[in-house]
């Protein structure tokens, strides 16, 4: 049975106990949200000591199941003022699972900048003044000097220490590159607790125990084969998520462009996966494929270097290319790579940051397409430049200060790159998800049998994908593996259920995922209601219901009454 490790940072007290009662059998988003929903006052200050920060592996963490090692971070969000979960790759979930830990719940606040050590001997909070103000890259380098390569690291950059509302929680991959649990400002929550880093070392630990190893082996084998044979996963393995740039722009007309004023970008091909493949195959030390966690069979990431072969960034993804690229009319890949590196080093969400810069460009703070000015803005965050701090507090803060009418946000959080006037079920998800405008909560692209552009039928479609992805987040399954399973509902989804049952030692019902996801979302929605949110918060920005998005000529016109009935029963 997996444990929950509780750390009171105010007193340095640590305790652990098996997950039990309503928490038994939960993982990932389901567990972070259950803890926050039941133990946090919905009206509390998100940056005060009464908020709880939870780091939780999924149900499949530490097992042989492919792509099952993502980690969830949860708290009340300083950006949305509601419940929030963000997840990332890396080694955190696997190493916690090997130590017998499903979740770490952090309460209170340390009296000085600190780090948390977790290993086979227990957990300890230690002062860490030497890490103050360090960027993410230097923090990881310094921690590796002390703790070596048997550990993995969870940390915040300067933005987290400064409690800026776009701050992310940073994790490390098997080769110590960076990944981020970006959305909702959860890095600011970690920073408010005076916690710079968590060091997790599973050396000497037993492997994760599986209640039914044979059932897990069969499920893992079937899922691995299903992922490898899926044509989209094969495309992602070849070009990574940048493959989606041309698909979204020229193919569907749904990529965020110039602060969501258009759905296609004339410079899209310059920042596409096809174009990125050039430097990835010609530059020293670049890698066309890269895995963010042990057990990944897609390898959709990459390592992007400069012409001299020095690392610029890794995990140079579609959302970053769209929000910092097309949304800001920046079409220079090297410039975008530098912006991505800065965001990771400072520790801020590229989606929120790109949306904020797009709003700032519309408001006249800098010119459309001026990547160098955007870079200067980001560099000004750590020195306290007022314009830079405005950007780092998100697109709503930026748009409000500059008097911009087109602010692409829901519940205070920026919309992701997929245009909701074209992808209307995605628009329903943006509007109604407890998470705010988060594409990973339930994105839905058009298919041969599904028309994303009509208002009819979008609410039940959104409800299904929201429920499904909430459940796969609880498993710790990566989004793309979850998509591969969803495209094979009769063969691969039962393997997800079988694998979860193999870990938990239970015979789970066929609708287990829908039960798990529904319970999770209803609990999150209840928290947000108690925090003061109403149906008025479940809306896209008004301009999207009146301004036609070109080239598709659409507005968002799903009836509000239908959206208000989502998850009603």
Q: What is the pLDDT of residues 460-481, one digit of tens each?
A: 999 999 999 999 999 999 999 9
- CA–CA distances in Å: residue 278 to residues 268, 269, 273, 284, 329: 15, 12, 9, 12, 21
- CA–CA distances in Å: residue 410 to residues 185, 395, 420, 436: 14, 11, 12, 6
Give the C-alpha separation, 188 to 203, whole Å: 30
Phi-psi region of 65 (alpha: psi -120 to 50; beta: other; left: phi over 0): beta
7 in Cβ contact with 55 (< 8 Å): no
CA 423 to chain centre: 20
Give the C-alpha separation, 153 to 104, whole Å: 14
Number of domains in the chain: 1
DSSP classification of residue 175: T
With respect to residue 122, please indicate whether it lies within any of the assigned structural domains: yes
Strands 122-127 and 114-119: antiparallel
Any idea what the CATH number is for the domain that residue 149 is in? Answer: 3.60.9.10
pLDDT for position 209: 86
Non-local (6+) Cβ contacts of 105 within 8 A are: 4, 5, 6, 7, 35, 39, 52, 53, 54
Domain that holds residue 195: 3-201
Instruction: State the burial class of residue 453 (Cβ atoms within 10 Å of its Cβ: 0-12, 13-18, 19+).
Output: middle
With respect to residue 314, please indicate whether it lies within any of the assigned structural domains: no
Could you tell me which residues are beta bridge partners of residue 154? 171, 198
With respect to residue 181, please indicate whether it lies within any of the assigned structural domains: yes
Q: What is the DSSP string of 313-337?
A: EE---HHHIIIIIGGGT---HHHHH
Give the C-alpha separation, 463 to 429, whole Å: 8
Could you tell me which residues are beta bridge partners of residue 198? 116, 154
264 in Cβ contact with 551 (< 8 Å): yes
Q: How many CB atoms lie within 10 A of CB 451?
A: 12
DSSP classification of residue 255: B
Segment-wise mean pLDDT, segments of 10 residues, the chain, 569 residues: 92 95 97 98 98 98 97 98 98 97 98 98 97 98 98 98 98 98 98 98 92 97 96 91 97 98 98 97 97 95 97 97 98 98 98 98 98 98 98 98 98 98 98 96 95 97 98 97 95 98 97 98 98 98 98 98 93
3-state secondary structure of 35: helix
Strands 311-314 and 301-305: antiparallel
Give the C-alpha separation, 476 to 493, whole Å: 14
- CA–CA distances in Å: residue 374 to residues 120, 257, 336: 45, 16, 10
With respect to residue 183, please indicate whether it lies within any of the assigned structural domains: yes
pLDDT for position 1: 60
Could you tell me which residues are beta bridge partners of residue 124? 117
Long-range contact pairs involving 562-568 (C-beta distance under 8 Å, separation at least 24): 562/458, 562/459, 563/428, 563/431, 563/432, 563/459, 563/538, 563/539, 564/535, 564/538, 565/459, 566/428, 566/432, 566/459, 566/462, 566/463, 567/432, 567/463, 567/518, 567/521, 567/522, 567/525
Instruction: State the burial class of residue 35 (Cβ atoms within 10 Å of its Cβ: 0-12, 13-18, 19+).
Output: buried
Q: Mutual orientation of helices 479-486 and 213-229 as an angle, nearest 10°?
A: 90
Angle among Cα 369, 375, 381 to the nearest 5 degrees reads 135
Q: What distance separates the 2 farthest-apart alpha carbons in the chain? A: 61
Instruction: State the burial class of residue 311 (Cβ atoms within 10 Å of its Cβ: 0-12, 13-18, 19+).
Output: middle
Strands 178-181 and 195-201: unpaired
Burial 93-109 (b: 16+ CB within 10 A, else e): bbbbbbbbbbbbbbbbb
Strands 151-155 and 13-18: unpaired
3-state secondary structure of 42: coil
Instruction: State the burial class of residue 548 (Cβ atoms within 10 Å of its Cβ: 0-12, 13-18, 19+).
Output: exposed
pLDDT for position 207: 83
Q: How many CB atoms lie within 10 A of CB 450?
A: 13
Side-chain-side CA neighbours of residue 226 (13 Å): 26
Give the C-alpha separation, 442 to 325, whole Å: 23
3-state secondary structure of 483: helix
With respect to residue 148, please indicate whether it lies within any of the assigned structural domains: yes
With respect to residue 480, please indicate whether it lies within any of the assigned structural domains: no
CA dihedral 564, 566, 567, 569 (to 10 degrees): 90
Helices (H), 40-135: 92-98
446 in Cβ contact with 252 (< 8 Å): yes
With respect to residue 278, please indicate whether it lies within any of the assigned structural domains: no
71 in Cβ contact with 90 (< 8 Å): yes
Give the C-alpha separation, 151 to 81, whole Å: 33
Q: What is the DSSP string of 499-551?
A: HHHHHHTS---TTHHHHHHHHHHHHHHHHHHHHT--GGGS---THHHHSPBTT
Side-chain-side CA neighbours of residue 4 (13 Å): 22
| pTM: predicted TM-score of the whole model, two decimal places | 0.97
């Amino acid at each position: 049975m997996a444990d929950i490790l509780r750390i009171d940072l105010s007193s340095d007290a640590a305790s652990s106990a098996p997950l039990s009662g309503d928490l038994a059998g939960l993982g990932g988003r389901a567990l972070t949200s259950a803890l926050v929903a039941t133990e946090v006052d919905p009206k509390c200050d998100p940056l005060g000591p009464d908020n709880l920060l939870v780091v939780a592996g999924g149900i499949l963490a530490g097992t042989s199941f492919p792509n099952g090692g993502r980690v969830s971070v949860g708290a009340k969000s300083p950006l949305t003022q509601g419940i929030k979960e963000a997840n990332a790759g890396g080694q955190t979930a696997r190493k916690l699972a090997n130590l017998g830990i499903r979740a770490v719940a952090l309460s209170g606040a340390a009296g000085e900048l600190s780090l948390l050590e977790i290993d086979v001997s227990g957990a300890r909070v230690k002062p860490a003044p030497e890490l103050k103000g360090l960027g993410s890259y230097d923090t990881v380098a310094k921690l590796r000097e002390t703790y070596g390569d048997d550990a993995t690291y969870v940390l915040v950059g300067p933005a987290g220490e400064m409690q800026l509302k776009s701050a992310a929680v940073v994790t490390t991959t098997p080769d110590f590159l960076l990944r981020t649990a970006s959305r909702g400002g959860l890095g600011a929550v970690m920073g408010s607790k005076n916690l710079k880093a968590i060091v997790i070392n599973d050396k000497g630990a037993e492997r994760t125990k599986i209640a039914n190893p044979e059932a897990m082996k069969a499920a893992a084998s079937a899922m691995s084969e299903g992922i490898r044979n899926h044509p989209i996963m094969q495309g992602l393995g070849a070009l990574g998520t940048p493959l989606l740039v041309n698909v979204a722009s020229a193919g569907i007309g749904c990529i965020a462009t110039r602060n969501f004023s258009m759905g296609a970008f004339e410079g899209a091909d310059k920042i596409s996966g096809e174009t990125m493949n050039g430097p990835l195959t010609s530059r020293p030390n670049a890698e066309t494929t890269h895995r963010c966690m042990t057990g990944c069979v897609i390898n959709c990431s990459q390592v992007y270097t400069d012409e001299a072969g020095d690392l610029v960034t890794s995990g140079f993804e579609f959302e970053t290319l769209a929000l910092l690229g097309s949304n800001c009319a920046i079409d220079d890949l090297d410039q975008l790579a530098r912006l991505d590196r800065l965001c990771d080093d400072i520790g801020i969400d590229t989606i929120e940051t790109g949306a904020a810069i797009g709003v700032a460009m519309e408001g006249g703070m800098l010119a459309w397409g001026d990547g160098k000015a955007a870079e200067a803005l980001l560099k000004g965050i750590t020195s306290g430049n007022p314009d830079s701090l405005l950007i780092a507090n998100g697109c709503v803060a930026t748009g409000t200060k500059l008097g911009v009418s087109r602010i692409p946000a829901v519940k205070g959080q920026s919309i992701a790159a997929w245009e909701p006037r074209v992808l209307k079920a995605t628009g329903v998800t943006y509007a109604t998800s407890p998470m705010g405008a988060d594409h990973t909560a339930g994105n839905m692209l058009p298919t041969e049998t599904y028309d994303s552009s009509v208002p009819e039928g979008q609410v039940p479609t959104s409800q299904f994908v929201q429920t499904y992805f909430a459940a796969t987040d609880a498993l710790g399954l990566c989004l793309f593996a979850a998509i591969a399973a969803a495209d094979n509902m009769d063969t691969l989804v039962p393997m997800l259920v079988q694998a979860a049952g193999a870990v938990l030692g239970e015979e789970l019902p066929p609708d287990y995922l829908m039960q798990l996801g529904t319970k999770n979302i209803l609990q999150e929605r209840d928290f947000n209601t108690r925090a003061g949110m109403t149906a008025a918060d479940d809306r896209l920005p008004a301009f999207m219901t009146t301004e036609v998005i070109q080239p598709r000529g659409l507005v968002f016109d799903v009836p509000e009454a239908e959206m208000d009935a989502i998850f009603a029963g």
